[in-house]
Amino acid sequence: MDVRTEKMEEALFRALEAADAEMEAKFGDRFSLHPARPPHGTAVNRQYDGLFEFGAGFSAGFGSKFGPGYSLAFRIVTLDSVPPDFRREFEAEAVAALSRQLAIHLPNRHLQIVRDTDSWKIVGDLSI
């Protein structure tokens, strides 16, 4: 992988981690943790601990009206039943938190989080 691409993806990962931390602080006590997950902040990678999991993967954008970008996944990792209204609130808050963090960790990129069919996607200046 190109060093510039690696640096950009590291900044994206930091933005995802920071957004995850915001969501844990705000909603982390709403549901019980999945039994296989340690408490927030105790694993080496925040994707593997706490109530929430934020992820992103590059998409070339074939078939998308927005073109290439990073497809997002926001998960609530619990065995509890999560009401649909909370899922919608969580998703809206997650998008807002990640938008704030993208502006901090990838400034001057004019990145946006958009709804692309049934999922969220980061689009904008993805140049390296």
For the chain, the structural domain boundaries read 3-123
Report the C-alpha gap between 39 and 103 in whole angstroms.
28
Residue-wise pLDDT tens digits, 51-109 = 999 999 999 999 899 999 999 999 999 999 999 999 999 999 999 999 999 999 999 98
Residues near 110 by Cβ (< 8 Å), separated by ≥ 6? 124, 125
Confidence of residue 1 (pLDDT cuts 50, 70, 90): low
Confidence of residue 6 (pLDDT cuts 50, 70, 90): confident
The identity of residue 28, as a single letter, is G
- Say what the pLDDT of residue 85 is: 97
Q: Is the pTM of this model over 0.85?
A: yes
Using alpha carbons only, what angle is made at residue 118 by residues 115 and 122, rounded to the nearest 5 degrees? 35
